[in-house]
């Protein structure tokens, strides 16, 4: 069954929360982690709700190196936080913002958590859970979130490119 968000939200709305995800990505870069950031919010009931009133359920950045844990991706940590904040693993009234398209592990977790809308900045045509593996819209899965990509794409691309350019020069 597909959950489709009822109220369309403005590009400015999505850009605001992607900027929060970019702040998380910057924390990851400062820590020597691949700079991916994620923010999960409770979806407003209408587009007239002020942004300041929107509840952030989870926010995280990649921590695989720090935690020595291959599953410590920004999305996985934020999903755990959001589940704790809501008291339910089903995040059926949430929006997940992430700076880079989720990998197949994170895409699978997003499907399992029933997140109805996934918004990312930069697509990953080589390793993306959607672009390569079609996990987010696979017809055999019981949940297929709506997807919106390209939000603040230049900024999301720049933080990754700068990080890897610096790593190669070391």
Q: How many residues does the chain have?
A: 170
The predicted pLDDT at position 170 comes to 81
Q: What is the pLDDT of residues 128-163, one digit of tens each?
A: 999 999 999 999 999 999 999 999 999 999 999 999
Model pTM score: 0.94
Which of the 8 DSSP states describes residue 151?
Answer: T
Q: How far is CA 166 from each of CA 74, 89, 134, rounded to the nearest angstrom?
A: 21, 38, 31
Q: Residue 5 pLDDT more than 70?
A: no
pLDDT of residue 45: 86
Place of tokens 């959607």: 130
Q: Note the pLDDT of residue 2.
A: 37
Q: What is the mean pLDDT of residues 9-18?
A: 94
Residue 105: pLDDT band (50, 70, 90) is very high
For 88, residues 6+ apart whose C-beta sits below 8 A from its C-beta are none
Among residues 24, 45, 65, 75, the one annotated as catalytic is 75
Mark whether 65 is an active-site residue. no
Whether 99 shows a pLDDT value over 60: the answer reads: yes
pLDDT at 78 over 90: yes
């Amino acid at each position: 069954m597909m959950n489709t968000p009822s109220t369309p939200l403005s590009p400015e709305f999505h850009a605001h929360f992607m900027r929060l995800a970019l702040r998380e990505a910057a924390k990851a870069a400062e820590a020597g982690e691949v700079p991916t950031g994620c923010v999960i919010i409770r979806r407003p009931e209408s587009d007239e709700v002020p942004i300041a009133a929107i509840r952030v359920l989870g926010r995280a950045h990649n921590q695989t190196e720090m935690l020595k844990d291959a599953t410590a991706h920004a999305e996985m940590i934020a999903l755990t936080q959001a589940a704790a904040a809501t008291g339910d693993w089903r995040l059926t009234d949430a929006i997940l913002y992430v700076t880079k398209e989720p990998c197949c592990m994170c895409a699978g977790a997003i499907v399992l958590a029933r997140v109805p809308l996934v918004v990312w900045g930069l697509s990953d045509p080589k390793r993306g859970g959607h672009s390569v593996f079609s996990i987010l819209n696979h017809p055999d899965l019981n949940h297929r979130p709506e997807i919106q990509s390209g939000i603040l794409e230049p900024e999301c691309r720049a933080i990754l490119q700068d990080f890897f350019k610096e790593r190669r020069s070391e």
